[in-house]
Amino acid sequence: MIYKATIVEWEAFTNFSRNNLLETSKRQELLKTRVYEFGGLEFVFFIVVGVCLNKTKKKSSGNQNSYHHAILGFRRYSYYELKVATNNFSNEIGRGGGGVVYRGKHRILVYEYMENGSLAENLSSKTNTLDWSKRYDIALGISRVLAYLHEECLEWILDCDIKPQNILLDSNFQPKLAYFGLSKLKNRNDLNNNSKFSMIRGTRGYMAPEWIFHLPITSKVDVYSYGIVVLEMITGKNPTLMNIEGEDGEMTYNGSLISWVREKKRSQCWVEEILDPAIGTSCDLSKMDILVRVALECVEEDMDIRPNMSQVVEMLQNNERVVE
């Protein structure tokens, strides 16, 4: 059986008074006010943060803009101007006696500034400041460099172009061997000690006879060139310009620097005759004698008679000849 009922009237009673209702309404209004206040503070906070970030961004962009302004201050070149300036973007840098020089990818060795220029500049200068002591130290320094290249480094090196132009002097007049454009690497395990070259290397006046007569090329070619450089330092005379005039203007000698020194050394006053006038008479005679002897041994035509560079170092350091 199913009963069906209908609610005709609903009556409810509450214990809340009018005062309670007013108090509740006030609390709701206060809560709304605080919510609005908090929301306003939060809005202000975000505005302040945004302004600060905007200023920082403007400051950094201002610095960046100033940097770009500094860069853009340079002149802008058009593609056509660059093409003309580089000769259609050619890799050719220049041309010289040895051929065409092209731009390469190899790195450049940069070393300390050589304050006193090259040995050649000092020997040819009218204000020559190379006294005897400096010249002897330069000769000893070059011999040490060549001894290292020939006998001590991992791969032995033949310089093949020893001359005053390739010897630089630092602030203390210590020599530095500067140019290795014609040098040759040698395998230190090569028992024959010979190198094959497709062409003659060196500079006229400083080249060993082996180059001319197509003899085996060894480290003795550098020994020969070293001897010529030492003779040039002693005499102040260029080995390629040996036309010597007398006081009356007549030609008194026309030959090689080696022959001239050997001829003068036979006389009693050979020191005064061959010594560079720029040095004067203030030289150590014992060191002068050993340096001339070493230089003449280095320029012997027979390469087997020449000393090696370690022997040259020993002779100059001990101020005596090495007897084998």
Please provide the DSSP assignment of 55-110 as one string: HHHHHHHHHHHHHHHHHHTSPP--HHHHHHHTTTT--EEEEETTEEEE--SPPPP-
276: annotated active-site residue: no
Name the E strands within the chain.
92-96, 99-102, 156-158, 167-169, 175-177, 184-186, 243-245, 251-254
Catalytic residue among 161, 190, 222, 304: 161
> The tokens of 165 are what?
């132009």
Going by the DSSP 8-state scheme, the letter that residue 214 receives in this structure is T
Whether the CB-CB separation of 175 and 168 falls below 8 Å is answered with yes
Considering Cα of 58, then 61, then 65, then 66, what sign does the dihedral take?
positive
Rounded CA-CA distance 55/270 in Å is 87
> The tokens of 298 are what?
């280095």
Enzyme catalytic residues: 161
